[in-house]
Amino acid sequence: MIIRSGLIRNREDVSKEAFDRHWLDVHGPLARAVPNLRAYTQNHVLTQLIAPSPSLHQIYGISQLWFDSVNAMNAVEQQLCVEDIKGFLSAVTIVIQQAGEWTYFGQAAPTQQKVMAVLAGSLVAGRSYADHLRAAFRESVAQGGRVRVNSVIEKGHSVDSHVARADDVVATIAELDVRGPLLNDIPDGLECLTALHVEQFPILRAPADATVQAWRAGR
């Protein structure tokens, strides 16, 4: 399963409140109808935990669209979505990721919050992003939480020639469900381009697997 993520910046003449409403209520249903789509989540930014790097534009939201493969994604016609995007966004950086496996710590808790960290950089030979990030974020998730690392496998995609995008600097996006929006101890060799406390809106929800269901139930 692959994830097509859009790192989204709204237009300067569109308020954050108007952006959130349009993205959820107007654009959401358009994207939900895209053929071959397996799941779709909007992540609306609540707080910047780490301000964006100069190499990456300001982010007001991160979309996540799941497809079976890159070929299934590329076969999709999204013209209605593209036309709508040009009306309320100023920049979108698209990255294609391999969906990672969740690592769980403790039990799920109702006070958990979602954090998304966008990272770049290179690592010491023989170590993966997942190895480094899971170790680094273990303290952040503390006694209850989970971490997933989605490594970028394709870059260079654009929504439309009229919509700006940043340079292809993103190497991976980490998702965390934590008891508090904490992010500490980024490993050497990794640059955190930004870290965001987000509110998640599942527009098209994928069925939870047995591991997720058991964790949520506290088993």
DSSP string, 73-120: HHT---HHHHHHHHHHEEEEEEEEEE----EEEE---TT-EEEEEEEE
Distance in angstroms (rounded) separating the CA atoms of residues 83 and 172? 28
Q: Work out whether strand 89-98 and strand 2-10 pair parallel, antiparallel, or are unpaired.
A: antiparallel
Question: Shortest CA distance to 100 belongs to which of 60, 136, 148?
Answer: 148
Distance in angstroms (rounded) separating the CA atoms of residues 141 and 117? 14
Please report, for the chain, the start and end positions of each structural domain, with discontinuous segments joined by +.
2-216
Question: Shortest CA distance to 45 belongs to which of 59, 58, 55, 57?
Answer: 59
pLDDT value of residue 62: 96
Residue 197 pairs in a beta bridge with 47, 115
Residue range 32-81, pLDDT digits in tens: 988 899 999 999 999 888 888 888 888 999 999 999 999 988 876 678 88
Q: Work out whether strand 172-178 and strand 113-121 pair parallel, antiparallel, or are unpaired.
A: antiparallel
pLDDT value of residue 2: 93
Question: Shortest CA distance to 82 belongs to which of 72, 67, 92?
Answer: 92
Distance in angstroms (rounded) separating the CA atoms of residues 5 and 63? 5
pLDDT value of residue 215: 43
Residue range 89-136, pLDDT digits in tens: 888 888 999 998 887 776 665 667 888 989 887 655 555 666 666 666
Confidence class of residue 174 from pLDDT cuts 50, 70 and 90?
confident
pLDDT value of residue 79: 81
Distance in angstroms (rounded) separating the CA atoms of residues 80 and 107? 41
E strands present in 99-179: 103-106, 113-121, 144-154, 172-178
State both tokens at 117: 């960290």
Residue range 183-193, pLDDT digits in tens: 555 555 667 88
- Its CATH architecture, for the domain 2-216, is 2-Layer Sandwich (3.30)
pLDDT value of residue 65: 94
Residue range 6-35, pLDDT digits in tens: 999 988 888 999 999 999 999 999 999 888
Secondary structure (3-state) at 141: helix
pLDDT value of residue 181: 47
Distance in angstroms (rounded) separating the CA atoms of residues 57 and 46? 17
| Contact partners, residue 97, CB within 8 Å, separation at least 6 | 2, 3, 4, 5, 150, 151, 152, 153, 172, 173
Distance in angstroms (rounded) separating the CA atoms of residues 16 and 22? 10
Given a cut of 50, whether residue 219 has pLDDT beyond it is no
